[in-house]
Amino acid sequence: MSKPVASNKETPDSSAKRSKRGHRLVRFEQDGELKIGLELSDGGDVLDIRAIDPSIPQEMWLFMRQREYDNGKIDCLNEDQRAVVKRSDIRLKAPLDHPEKIICIGMNYADHCTEQNIPIPKEPVIFSKFASALQDPDEPIYLENTEELDFEVELGVVISKSCRKVEESEAMDYVMGYTVAHDVSARDWQLKRNGGQWLLGKSFDTFCPLGPCIVTKESISDPHNLGIRCRVNGVTVQESNTSQMVHKVPFLISYISKFLTLNSGDLILTGTPPGVGCFRKPPMWLKAGDVVECEIDQIGSIRNTVEIRPHLHAEKLDN
Ligand code: MG
């Protein structure tokens, strides 16, 4: 690629625009190489930002943890046509590569509590998933070791910088943006086995599809007024709005940070609306061949097919 010409020098004008213009941050694979970039529109071509500014780290976790991310600086990366990569030439990856923590909130939609006929929790119900559960936005969810595979669409919140004991009024300063998350669950292992601990039933490999991008917070006028839905084989099974969230994003960040330090790149899954398979009569479990699409307005959708895992015996891993 030719020598880039775009300047990253910040001007008073670009700084003033910082709070107004958002971006769609993506990780993608092109010719076997992993890169980070900006999706120019939902489902559109991608700007290879490192081709314009080689000082930008190649990996999202470094990009965030070195605090290279700055909306004004990204604004200055003009849409240099030499750095635009056609969508057909790339494959999107989960937009986070190495989150230190994936923190999940249970029973956090009022209509989901009504569905279960349980009281709305006064305090957030908190559990976690391992980062090894992350899956790319178009790759399979593996059906393995469970008879009760279930779906949960969720709004994911990405933390921009470290915080501890943050006030609710300042919590949004620590949000980088939002993504679509799928809290895939093995209900038999979550609720009936493993001594009542949720962790295992929430953390199988591929149990956290994520994407298609991180929409930076400047793009979302109100994260608590977004349509959220899940479709299985084209049929809508969950349909709600993030306005139904019991504990809102600033409160969740403030609450969690009382107990533990949140770090750059940490991910919070904010709970799921009603319609999940385990509360249906009869229950509806995902099966091989099912296509699950999770979608949130202003962010986009991820689409994962349920597959039997191809290797059922010990696999040799590269690392
Ligand atoms: Mg969940």
Query: Tens digit of pLDDT for each residue in 136-152?
Result: 999 999 999 999 999 99
Q: 11 alpha carbon to ligand 1 midpoint, in Å?
A: 43
- pLDDT of 18 > 80? The answer is no
Q: Does residue 158 sit in the same domain as residue 29?
A: no
Query: 257 lies in a domain?
Result: yes
Predicted local confidence at residue 297, as pLDDT: 97
Q: How many A from CA of 19 to the centre of ligand 1?
A: 31
pLDDT band at 72 (very low <50, low <70, confident <90, very high): low
pLDDT of residue 272: 97
pLDDT given for residue 19 in this prediction: 41
Question: For 59-73, 118-132, 177-191, 237-251, which range has the lowest pLDDT when averaged over its residues?
Answer: 59-73
Q: How far is the CA of 55 from the centre of ligand 1 (A)?
A: 37
301 lies in the same domain as 181: yes
Q: Write down which residue in 74, 93, 112 finishes a domain.
A: 93
Q: What is the distance in A from the centroid of ligand 1 to the CA of 89?
A: 33
Q: 62 and 169 share a domain?
A: no
The residue range of the domain holding 80 is 12-93
**Bridge-partner residues for 291, per DSSP?**
305
Contact 143, 288 (CB under 8 A): yes
What is the rounded CA–CA span in Å between residue 139 and residue 184?
Answer: 13
- Give the number of other CB atoms < 10 A from CB of residue 260: 12
Summarize the confidence of residues 39-56 as an average pLDDT: 90
Nearest to 62 by CA among 97, 103, 92: 97
Supply the pLDDT for residue 145. 94
Residues with CB in 5 Å of ion ligand 1: 152, 183, 272
How far is CA 189 from each of CA 7, 33, 103, 115, 203, rounded to the nearest angstrom?
53, 36, 19, 21, 10
Rg (CA), the chain: 20
Asked if residue 18 and residue 154 are part of one domain, the reply reads no
CA 128 to ligand 1 centroid distance, Å: 10
**Residue 74 confidence (pLDDT) above 80:** no
Tell me, yes or no, whether 257 and 168 share the same domain: yes
Q: Is the pLDDT of residue 273 over 90?
A: yes
For residue 80, report the distance from its CA to the centre of ligand 1, in Å. 40
Report the chain's mean pLDDT, rounded to a whole number: 89
Task: Answer for the pair 268, 100: CB distance below 8 angstroms, yes or no.
Answer: no
Q: How many angstroms separate the alpha carbon of residue 18 from the centre of ligand 1?
A: 33
> Residue 201 belongs to a domain with what CATH number?
3.90.850.10
Domain final position from 93, 125, 158:
93
The 3-state secondary structure of the chain, one letter per residue: CCCCCCCCCCCHHHHHCCCCCCCEEEEEEECCEEEEEEECCCCCCEECHHHHCCCCCCCHHHHHHCCCCCHHHHHCCCCCHHHEECHHHCEEECCCCCCCCEEEEECCEHHHHHHHCCCCCCCCEEEEECHHHEECCCCCEEECCCCCEECCEEEEEEECCCECCCCHHHHHHHEEEEEEEECCEEHHHHHHCHHHCCHHHHCCCCCEEEEEEEEEHHHCCCCCCCEEEEEECCEEEEEEEHHHECCCHHHHHHHHHHHCCECCCCEEECCCCCCCHHHCCCCCCCCCCCEEEEEECCCEEEEEEEEECCCCCCCCCCC
Distance 155 CA to ligand 1 centre (A): 10
CA–centroid distance, 88 to ligand 1, in Å, is: 32
Percentage with pLDDT > 90 across the chain: 73
Residues 141 and 271 in one domain: yes
Query: Ligand 1 centre and the CA of 184: distance in Å?
Result: 8
Tokens standing for 193? 């086995």
Residue 97 scores a pLDDT above 70: yes
pLDDT tens profile 145-174: 999 999 999 999 999 999 999 999 999 999
Same-domain check for residues 112 and 249:
yes
Domain co-membership, 156 together with 280: yes
pLDDT digits (tens, 9 = 90+) for 211-233: 999 999 989 999 999 999 999 99
pLDDT of residue 316: 66
Whether 2 is covered by a domain: the verdict is no
pLDDT at 88 over 70: yes
Confidence of residue 235 (pLDDT cuts 50, 70, 90): very high
Query: pLDDT band for position 54 (50/70/90)?
Result: confident
Counted domains in the chain: 2
Confidence of residue 116 (pLDDT cuts 50, 70, 90): confident
Q: Are residues 29 and 140 in the same domain?
A: no
Q: What is the pLDDT of residue 251?
A: 98
Residue 3's pLDDT is 36
The answer to whether residues 114 and 239 belong to one domain is yes
Bigger pLDDT: 270 or 9?
270
